[in-house]
């Protein structure tokens, strides 16, 4: 009887660990889905900014200050995408 009780306790422990693992798995999948959505939004924003830069042509008509502002915006967006991609890879 003692062996059966020990086996039952071990089974309970394993079931609790399994339930915790399943909950963690679901939480991680939700996190990945949110981050993939954020990456998609940032990619869309980046494409929009790139289109804006192409339409402006960054020629002599555009001042240096405007060029710097556009570069800063692009750097910010690219930095955010890099952060999200690094988080997804972890």
pLDDT single digits (tens) 5-58: 999 999 999 999 999 999 999 999 999 999 999 999 999 988 888 777 766 655
- The Cα 34–Cα 54 span in angstroms is 30
- pLDDT-derived band at 62, boundaries 50, 70, 90: low
- The Cα 11–Cα 34 span in angstroms is 35
Q: Does the global pTM surpass 0.85?
A: no
pLDDT for 56 equals 61
Q: Which helix (H) or strand (E) holds 59?
A: none
- The Cα 51–Cα 74 span in angstroms is 12
Vertex 41 angle, CA 44 and 39, to 5°: 105
- pLDDT-derived band at 68, boundaries 50, 70, 90: confident
């Amino acid at each position: 009887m003692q062996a059966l009780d020990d086996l039952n306790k071990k089974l309970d422990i394993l079931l609790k660990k399994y339930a915790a693992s399943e909950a963690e798995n679901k939480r991680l999948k939700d996190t990945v889905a949110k981050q993939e959505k954020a990456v998609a939004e940032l990619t869309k924003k980046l494409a929009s900014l790139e289109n804006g830069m192409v339409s402006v042509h960054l020629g002599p008509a555009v001042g240096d200050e405007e060029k710097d502002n556009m570069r800063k915006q692009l750097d910010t967006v690219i930095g955010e995408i890099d952060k999200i991609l690094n988080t997804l890879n972890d």
